[in-house]
Amino acid sequence: MKNLRRKTLAAASSVTLGVGLALTGGLTPAAAAGPDATYLVVAPLGGKADRAAARVAAANGTVVARYDQIGVIVARSTNPNFVTDVKGVGVEAAASTAGLGTALEEGETVEVPAADVVNSTGDPTAEPMYGQQWDMPMIGVPQAHAVNNGRPSVVVGVLDSGISSSHPDLAGQIAKDKSASCVGGVPDTTEAAWNPTSSDHGTHVAGTIAAAVNGVGVTGIAPGVKVAAVKVVNDDGFIFPESAVCGFIWAADHGMQLTNNSYFVDPWELNCRNDPRQRPAWTAIHRAIRYSQSKGVLNVASAGNSNWDLAGKITDDGSPNNGTPETRPDLGNECRVLPAEVPGVVTVSAVGPTGQKSYYSSYGKGVVEVTAPGGDTRFRTQGAQSTIADGILSTTFNTATRTNGWGYKQGTSMSSPHATGVAALALSAHPRMGPLQLTLFLQLTAVAQACPAGAVYNPVPLIPAGPNAYDATCSGGKYYNAFYGSGMVNAYNVVK
């Protein structure tokens, strides 16, 4: 299968509606002879990582962060032989995270005059721009809000690029006492640290989940809940494994019941546990997620924008995405998208305004739990050109002008927060649900959707990449299949 991947955090298209709102030992220390690099050091589970920390020091390294909860250390060293020197009793594995980042790619941003925003029409009983949010009626949000629009005791961790704390639709929605930047693997709770610097992606995601009903802009699915900014994207647009580990641990230890994860870890979209260099990151992420689940957190993640069948054999010829791509044919279950394919994570595919699978959305029977609106700006023209209003409208932040606004993006990055928002409503109505119960509830209350007609689903034959570039085959029946899992999440069904 040809890899026509779109980065999970990428917004394939975007338009911003700007309104100008301001805003222990035994080793001989090696000589420091190489560049300063970051490493993940994995210790045995079940106790403090003291021995591993001692070996880090003996290998001429410095411990940056210790996560004894999961036996993982983040270290830095200029010792070019650090990975070899640190090995021994107390260390199971170690690897440099250099080159293990995922570039955050953004789409074009076009600002619209403030008057155009003010004059937007929509439901006069709701938000001014609500009429442009086709995704909300699709999942029963109006009916849900008449029953329950969320409770502030529910806090959703948005592991992403930060949230604009000055945005008028989000300023009162953020749990600032639970927000932090995890860039570099170490929490920083200063407000400036967890605000966006190079991307408004996290701001857009947060708006879908919890934008306020305040007579301004748009509405979120669960405007009564709180969101916490857990920043994992650095200023260069990379998501390193240590940042993701920090994010999961921070959310688990600070009372968050849900996290949204619209990203994947590592430059290899498929991270292979049988690869010695990739396995430490694989292990660390799995441990962090298992720990968060043990603390009562349900993690929701995007399936990805590669149009891959994640349940089948995959040829990846687009990774690593921050270097020269390699062709890795016929990758199986030993290679998975992280965090989406970690057991217990709710994986979400995307649909457009017709309710059918978005052309870019990855899928997979036994992988995708549910589906949700993510936008599809190509379906109307069969791929010839984009119709931006068929994307997802939410809150934005122009990182160049430092102004807040509203705009469109599309991707499974946008479908995941829809499912997270519905889960937040479910927890508001049923606060005693744990992660497993909540997962099952989301599936049972989803609206079943059958596979599209025909042997091959081909929604965009006129797309420039070629007539068969986005062919996909849906397997399964009406009540569970590869494209939609158990079906479309439904906000009303979880609160009624």
Q: Is the peptide bond before 339 cis (omega within 30 degrees of 0)?
A: yes
| Residue 253 a catalytic site member | no
Both structure tokens of 323: 């270097």
* CA 479 to centroid of chain Cα atoms: 26
Alpha helices in 300-434 (DSSP H): 412-429
Candidate list 135, 160, 200, 266, residue with the active-site label: 160
Contacts 24+ apart (CB under 8 A), 381-387: 381/462, 382/459, 382/460, 382/461, 382/462, 382/463, 383/359, 383/459, 383/460, 383/461, 383/462, 383/463, 383/464, 383/470, 384/462, 384/463, 386/13
Catalytic pick from 306, 358, 394, 413? 413
Q: Which residue's entry shows tokens 């980042």?
A: 101
- How many other CB atoms are there within 10 angstroms of residue 31's CB atom? 11
413 noted as active-site residue: yes
The dihedral of CA 428, 166, 16, 203: what is its sign?
A: negative
The three-state secondary structure class of 368 is coil
Pick the catalytic residue from 145, 201, 204, 418: 201
Q: Is the dihedral of CA 490, 306, 290, 49 positive or negative?
A: negative
Half-sphere exposure for 193 (CA within 13 Å, toward CB): 15
- ∠ CA 425-431-434, nearest 5°, is 100
* Distance from chain centroid for Cα 116: 31
Is the Cα torsion angle 308, 261, 53, 291 positive or negative in sign?
Answer: negative
Of 472, 249, 210, which Cα lies nearest the Cα of 364? Answer: 472
160 has catalytic annotation: yes
Cα-based distances in Å from 172 to 166, 177, 284, 485: 9, 13, 34, 34
The catalytic site residues sit at 160, 201, 413
